[in-house]
Chain A
Amino acid sequence: MTAAVHLSSVNCTQCGAGLSVLGGGRVLSHVCGYCGAVLDTQNAYKVIDSIGKRDHPASPVNIGMTLTAQGAEFTVIGTIGMLETWGGRTWNWVEHQLFSPTHGYAWLSHEDGNFTFTRKIRDFPMRHWLSSRQVEASETPPHRSFRGETYRYFETTTAKIDFMEGEFNWRPRLDDATTTVTLLGPNAMLGLVDGPTEREVELTTLLPRNAAMADLGIPVGTAQPPRYHALTPYRQLPEEGAMKRAFGVTTVLALLLALAFSIASGSAVLQQTRIPVSALPQTYSFTITDTARLASVTFRSDVQNAWAVFSAEITGPGGAPILAGSRATERYSGVDQGERWSEGNGYGDFRFRPTQTGPHTVTVALEETGTDGIRPQNAQAVDLTVRQGVGSGFWMLVCAGVFALAWAAIHARAAMHRKRRFAGSDWTDED
């Protein structure tokens, strides 16, 4: 409740020290920073407990500092030192209670040089509560949905209070332990806090460090350098979304063009069908008029369960050989365990780039032949086709590959960031 009377200070009822009153009407306890007395703010500041004189945990944040978080102005009103011990190791961190007259109570935490802002939320569906016991029983990292985002299990922390000073909207006690199951979402952490008396759900966001320090009045150079935090935001490349779309689209376009170029068959300048193999070698003439694009030589034989290698020697307008090439034609078929199968189509071709227009010749010969399988048939005749103006999709394919790599690199960068965020998780597959 909003404080009825604006108190600026009270005297500790145990040691008489002056204590600043910065919180609101819902403050329940005030821990004297001088003598450690825990005072009941709702009952004339009577002493209800004492933590004695204890060393103040290291934190650049002090009671009375102010900062703006998520658009609301807060004042630091309390400090809690937290301690976690597990597996022989110890972790310490400091949490500061914040108060805003308009937005209520929240927490500012300082750990590993980072500042996080934590506030209680009330709209988490408690029937989806996740306990540490449920986590231990899970075979895969549990996850929960909240406000349209997915939060995946990150860690379980059981910590106890080992220091407190200032004002709190609850009554903390030394060594009070809370177990928090933390789930990591895209921009925030969900903390499912199982405390001594109640369960609460908290939402934590990472504050921009330099802005927070400037707001609090802490010189940037005096705080420890920050370590990577799981809530560190992903830094998008300039126009990353546009780049992803552009590389994706250009990859598809390049592939389509490569396909189109590959199936551009050009026009036939020589077509000889059913050339008896027994009559080879044979020489035929054709005329090239297009040197801007590729030409192709295609063989088609009537082999069956056999193969035949045909060669073609091409001469240019001057009669000098400009190219020699050979291709195998093969075709096999049969029945295997009741199922028909076939392989090969009797075709073989190669492409070349003509350098001169004018009359050319091609000499076709049978190089090798052989059979394999049942009821084989060696090549009896061969069809020969020479085309010009044939397209090639090779370079477009190269372009598609480059664009696809760029697209994959951008996705991989984001994926690596996601992986790094969960690197600090305590989840193991043995859990």
Chain B
Amino acid sequence: MTGSAPTCPNCGYGFEGLRKSTRMHDCPSCGTTLFRETDALAPIGDHGDMHDVAMLLGLGDTVTLGQRRYDIIGHARFDYGRGWWDEMWAVSGDDGAWISIDEGDVVIQRAIPDDLVPRWTEPPVLGATFTFDGDDYRVTEQDAATCIAIRGEFPELMQVGDKHQFCNATGPGGSLLSGEFWDGGRTWFVGDWLDPFEIKVERAT
């Protein structure tokens, strides 16, 4: 946690207790998305409309997965044209992970270091197979998405309106590789499917 309390340059709202790892967050007062610089916050846009729908877990909830408890501190929503899915930034101590929720399909993933990512620089086609970390994966989904709303804190820069292509590749034993591709960059994540019926959620009060 930081010792100082930065304020929103747009409305002056004060932020107590931002995590050191937080690179950006939204202002709950005025809805401005804020990028965290060394000792100040810079406005980078609007935080978008987050339509209220029934969700398995949400911002402020605490989730127990196995032996670990995660606090959900960030919530981003991505539109793919015909629908959307939600990405939750979950932290447990110094550990952070993305929990993706898509109509009962829940997966927890962590970013793969750049030197270990799969070789693809463009999204592999549907059905493509490749090996990662000794396991065989098969691309089962490929599409494009746009970030339409963000709430809370995030470890990386995200902006409403950001577009990227993505792919999901299924591996053995319930593991899932996901790749995100945009002009000049890519990120890969790896993790496991979660059973929505086994997730214990403590709702934010």
Of the listed stretches A29-37, A116-124, A255-263, A304-312, chain B binds: A116-124
A1 touches B103 (CB 8 A): yes
Main secondary structure of the interface of A (DSSP, over half): loop
One of A98-106, A153-161, A337-345 contacting the partner: A98-106
Which residue of A is nearest B54, CB measured? A101
Q: Which residues of A contact B18 (CB under 8 A)?
A: none
Determine whether the beta carbon of A126 is less than 8 Å from that of B172.
yes
Inter-chain contact B103/A104, CB cutoff 8 Å: yes
- Nearest-neighbor residue (CB-CB) of B86 within chain A: A2
Contacts of A105 in B (CB 8 A): 103-104
Set of chain B residues within 8 Å of A335, measured between Cβ atoms: none
| Interface bits A305-347 vs B (CB < 8 Å: 1, else 0) | 0000000000000000000000000000000000000000000
Known: A2-B84, A4-B79, A101-B103. A127 touches B172 (CB 8 A): yes
Contact (Cβ within 8 A) B174 A102: no
Chain B residues whose CB sits within 8 angstroms of the CB of A103 once the complex forms: 56, 104, 196-197
> Which A92-149 residues have a C-beta within 8 angstroms of B?
99-105, 119, 121-127
Cβ < 8 Å to B, chain A residues 14-65: 24-26, 42
Partner of A1, one of B53, B85, B172, B192: B85
CB of A70 within 8 A of chain B? Answer: yes
Q: Which of A119, A122, A126 has the most CB of B within 10 A?
A: A122
Proximity bits, B184-205, A CB within 8 Å = 1, else 0: 0000000011011100000000
- CB of B202, distance to nearest CB on chain A (Å): 15
Contact of B102 among A2, A70, A124 (CB under 8 A): A2
Asked if B173 contacts A123 (CB within 8 A), the reply is yes
Cβ A1 vs Cβ B84 within 8 A: yes
How many B residues have CB within 8 A of the partner chain?
24
A-chain residues with CB within 8 Å of residue B86 when the two chains form the complex: 2
> B105 an interface residue at 8 Å Cβ cutoff?
yes
Q: Which residues of the partner chain B approach A102 to less than 8 Å between Cβ atoms?
A: 54-56, 104, 196
Chain A neighbourhood of B197, CB < 8 A: 70-72, 103, 119
Which of B104, B173, B195 has the most C-beta atoms of chain A within 10 angstroms of its own C-beta?
A: B104
Cβ of B173 and Cβ of A1 under 8 Å apart?
no
Determine which of A2, A42, A119, A125 lies in contact with B85 in the assembled complex, contact meaning CB atoms within 8 Å.
A2
Measured CA separation A397–B81 after assembly (Å): 79
CB distance from B143 to the nearest CB of A (A): 9
Contact B82 A25 (CB under 8 A): yes
Residues of chain B in range 37-89 having any CB-CB distance to chain A below 8 Å: 53-56, 79-86
B174 pairs with A122, CB closer than 8 A: yes
**A-contact 0/1 string along B18-40, CB 8 Å cutoff:** 00000000000000000000000
User: Is A252 an interface position by the 8 A CB rule?
Assistant: no
Rounded to whole angstroms, the CA-CA distance of A99 and B196 in the bound complex is: 13
By the criterion CB–CB under 8 Å, are A1 and B56 in contact?
A: no
Q: A171 CB to closest chain B CB, in angstroms?
A: 15
Among candidates B53, B82, B102, B105, residue contacting A42 with C-beta atoms closer than 8 Å: B82
Is there a chain B Cβ closer than 8 Å to A3's Cβ?
Answer: yes
* Complexed CA–CA distance, A42 and B143 (Å): 13
Please report the C-alpha to C-alpha distance between residue A2 and residue B86 in the assembled complex, in whole angstroms.
9
Report the minimum CB–CB distance from A120 to chain B (whole Å): 9
List chain B residues, Cβ under 8 A from A125.
Answer: 173
The answer, among A4, A122, A123, A127, for a CB contact under 8 Å with B82, is A4
- Please report the C-alpha to C-alpha distance between residue A1 and residue B56 in the assembled complex, in whole angstroms: 14
State the B residues within 8 Å of A (CB): 53-56, 79-86, 102-105, 172-174, 192-193, 195-197
Additional 17 contacts, C-beta under 8 A, given A1-B84, A4-B79, A25-B84: A1-B80, A2-B84, A2-B85, A2-B102, A4-B84, A26-B83, A100-B104, A101-B53, A101-B54, A102-B54, A103-B104, A103-B196, A104-B103, A105-B104, A123-B173, A126-B173, A127-B173
Give me the 6 closest cross-chain CB pairs, A-B, nearest first.
Answer: A104-B104, A25-B83, A1-B83, A122-B193, A122-B174, A102-B56
Q: List 15 A-B contacts (CB under 8 A).
A: A1-B85, A1-B102, A2-B53, A2-B85, A2-B102, A4-B81, A4-B83, A25-B82, A26-B83, A42-B82, A102-B54, A103-B104, A103-B196, A103-B197, A104-B103
